[in-house]
Amino acid sequence: MTRSDLDPITLDIMWGRMLATVNEQAAALMRSSFTSIVRDAGDLSACVFDRRGRMVAQAVTGSPGHINSMATGMTHIVQAFPVDTLEPGDVIITNDPWITVSQLHDITIATPVFHKGRAVALFANCCHALDIGGRGLSADARSIFEEGLFLPIMKLYEAGKPVRPIYQIIEKNVRTPDEVIGDIHAQIIANEVGARQLQSFLEEFRLDDIEVVADAIIERSESAMRSAINALPDGEHSFALTLDGFGQPIEIKSAVTIIGDGITVDYDGTSDMVDLGVNVGFNYTVAYTTYGVKCAIAPDVPNNAGSFLPIRTLAPEGCILNAKSPAAVAGRHTVGHFLPSAIMGALSGILPDKVMAPGADSLWNTHIAGYDARDGAYFSYTWFSTGGTGALQGQDGLSATSYPSGVAGVPAEIIEALTPLVVGERALRPDSGGAGQHRGGLGQTMTIEVRTNRPYLFSGLYERCEHPAPGLDGGRSGATGAIETSNDVELEPKISRMLPADTVVTLHIPGGGGFGDPTERSAAAIREDIEDGYVTPAGVRRDYGIEPD
C-alpha cells in the first residue's frame, strides 16, 4: 500500500482499529494484573510503535507520565536493540528513570511484532510495580542507589526463552515477589494480545508493515497541532507555582513562548535539584509538558509522536525538573504533576476559556507495610488518593478527581479485602474548594486503621500541605492538606516512619483553586453548594462575604 491508497475513509477505519488494538492491550494488562494499582487504579500505559520507535497510538487508559515518557523512552530502546536485530519471542525490560518514567517502581516491557518474518512494530506498556526493593515508595532516599532495583535496557526473554537470572535477581530484591513478577507476566501477555491484533490487522489490509499508516497518522497529528498553535498570537507568557518541597519551598517557573506554529516551554528559574527524592528526570518533565500544552491548546488532536513535534521543552541541567543521575527520584510526581498547571497559568491570559486553575494536582500516594494480626503474614500495599481539581471559566472544579495523572482511586472495599487496612471514613471535605465565580473541586478526608499488633511502616508522598492551589482570574486558593494521627505522633509528608500498632491516620487531601471573582458566583449556585454539603454556612460567610439564606 502507498500513501495514495490511503483515502480519508480507509485511514479512519485503520485508525479506529489501531485504537481498538491498544485498548485491548491495556484491558488485557488490567484483567491479568496481580495488583490493585494496575487492575483498579489503572496506573499503566499501553502503546504501539512503528519500526522507527515512534508512538503511533495509545490506549485511553493510562497516565500521561507513563504514556508520554514511554513515547520518548522507546527511542532509547530501539537504539539499544535495533528492530532488525530482534527475534520472535524477544522481550525487553527496563525501569531506567532517565529514559522512561523517572521512577524505579515503573517497569516498561517492550515486545517486537513480526509479520512475514520481519519485525514490523513494537508494543510496549508500563505499570507501577508494587515493590522494587530499597526504601520502598518514599522520598527520603538521598540517591537512586537507595531507592531499589535498577534495571537497564536488557532482554527479559531471548527468542522465547526467559533469561532466568533476571527473574531471580528481581525475586530476591523485592518484598512482594509474587505480585511483582506476576505483573511482569501480565505485561508480557498484554503485549502478545496487542501483537495478535496487529497481525490480524496487517493481514486484513494486506500490509507488509505499518510504516505508511504511521506516517499518515503522525503527519496529520503534527499538522493539526501546528494549526492550533498557529491560531494563537505570538508572544511569551509566564507563570510561577510554589510547592512545599523539603524544608524550603520549590518554585516552578514556566515561560511559554509561541512563535508561528511552534511552542517552547522553558523552566529557567525553577528551583535546583534537592538531596531527597522529589527530583524529576527530564523525560518526565517533557511528558507532562506536552500533555499540559495539548490540554490547553488542542485536546482533540490524537496523542502520538506527531502531536509532540511542535512542542519544545527546556529545563536547565541540574534544576529539579532536569535532575541528573544518581539523584533520588521516587517522589518525582510530587513535582512533575504540577507542570500542566504551570503551563495553563501561563496561557490563562490568552486562553481564559480553555484553561483551569491549579488544583491538588499531585496524587497523594500512601504506602503501608507490616504484619497482619489475623495470620501474622507480611503485607505491603500502596494506593493513590486524589484531591480537587481547579475550576474553569464556566465550570466548577471536580472533587476528589485525579488530574493530571488520570489514575483512579481504589474503592475502600478493595483496600479492605486485600489488606488488614480498615477505611474508617472517606468523605469530601466541605469548604476545601477555592471560592470563585466557579468553585474549585473539593478534597477528601480519609481515615486509615491497620489491623496489626506490631509497629507498621507508613509512607506518604504528599504535597500542598503548606502551599495551597492558587486560583485564577481572582479566584481564591483551595484548602491545604494535612495529616493527623490518633496518638499525636507527628508525620512528615514524603518521609517514611514506623508507627505504633494502634495508630489511626487521617488524611485531609487538598482542594482546587477557584476561577473568577467570588462575588460573581450566583446565589443559586451557593445555595446548591450548601444543600449538597460542599460548603458550610461559615465557609460562605468567610469566602463569599455574605450571609447564607
Mind giving me the DSSP string for 307-339? HHTTEEEE--TTBTTS--TT---TTTHHHHTTH
Comparing CA positions, the residue from 98, 127, 111 lying closest to residue 36 is: 127
Q: pLDDT, tens digit, for every residue of 49-62?
A: 999 999 999 999 88
As beta bridge partners, residue 382 has 367
Indicate if the pLDDT at residue 280 is higher than 90. Answer: yes
As beta bridge partners, residue 364 has 385
Q: What is the reported pLDDT for 4?
A: 61
CA–CA separation, 308 vs 215, rounded Å?
Answer: 14
Grid cell for residue 421: 487496612
**Contact of 234 with 335, CB cutoff 8 Å:** no
Look up the pTM and report it.
0.96
What average pLDDT score do residues 134-148 get? Answer: 94
Residue 548's pLDDT band, with cuts at 50, 70 and 90, is confident
CA–CA separation, 86 vs 51, rounded Å?
Answer: 11
Sign of the Cα torsion 430, 431, 437, 440 reads negative
Q: What is the reported pLDDT for 401?
A: 96
**Contact of 262 with 290, CB cutoff 8 Å:** no
Q: What is the reported pLDDT for 136?
A: 86
Mean pLDDT, all residues of the chain: 96
CA–CA separation, 100 vs 75, rounded Å?
Answer: 10
Q: How many helices (H) and strands (E) does the chain have?
A: 13, 19
Domain boundaries defined on the chain: 3-222, 356-549
CA–CA separation, 165 vs 519, rounded Å?
Answer: 65
Q: pLDDT, tens digit, for every residue of 175-219?
A: 999 999 999 999 999 999 999 999 999 999 999 999 999 999 999
Distance in angstroms between the alpha carbons of the first and the last residue of the chain: 69
Residue 549's pLDDT band, with cuts at 50, 70 and 90, is confident
Q: What is the reported pLDDT for 1?
A: 61
DSSP labels for 468-482? PPP-BTTPPPPPPPE
Comparing CA positions, the residue from 202, 151, 208 lying closest to residue 174 is: 151
CA–CA separation, 535 vs 527, rounded Å?
Answer: 9
Indicate if the pLDDT at residue 471 is higher than 70. Answer: yes
Q: pLDDT, tens digit, for every residue of 424-464?
A: 999 999 999 999 999 999 999 999 999 999 999 999 999 99
Indicate if the pLDDT at residue 18 is higher than 80. Answer: yes
Q: pLDDT, tens digit, for every residue of 226-269?
A: 999 999 999 999 999 999 998 899 999 999 999 999 999 999 99
**Contact of 349 with 294, CB cutoff 8 Å:** no
Alpha-helical (H) ranges within 150-308 are 164-173, 177-204, 211-230, 282-297, 305-308
Q: 507568557: which residue's cell?
A: 237
- Going by the DSSP 8-state scheme, the letter that residue 537 receives in this structure is H
Q: 528551583: which residue's cell?
A: 271
Q: What is the reported pLDDT for 519?
A: 95
Sign of the Cα torsion 312, 316, 318, 320 reads negative
**Contact of 61 with 26, CB cutoff 8 Å:** yes
Neighbours of 28 (CB within 10 A): 21
Q: Which amino acid is at 374?
A: R
- Going by the DSSP 8-state scheme, the letter that residue 429 receives in this structure is -
Q: What is the reported pLDDT for 3?
A: 65
**Contact of 140 with 278, CB cutoff 8 Å:** no
Q: pLDDT, tens digit, for every residue of 345-376?
A: 999 999 999 999 999 999 999 999 999 999 99
Q: What is the reported pLDDT for 6?
A: 83
Q: 518525582: which residue's cell?
A: 332
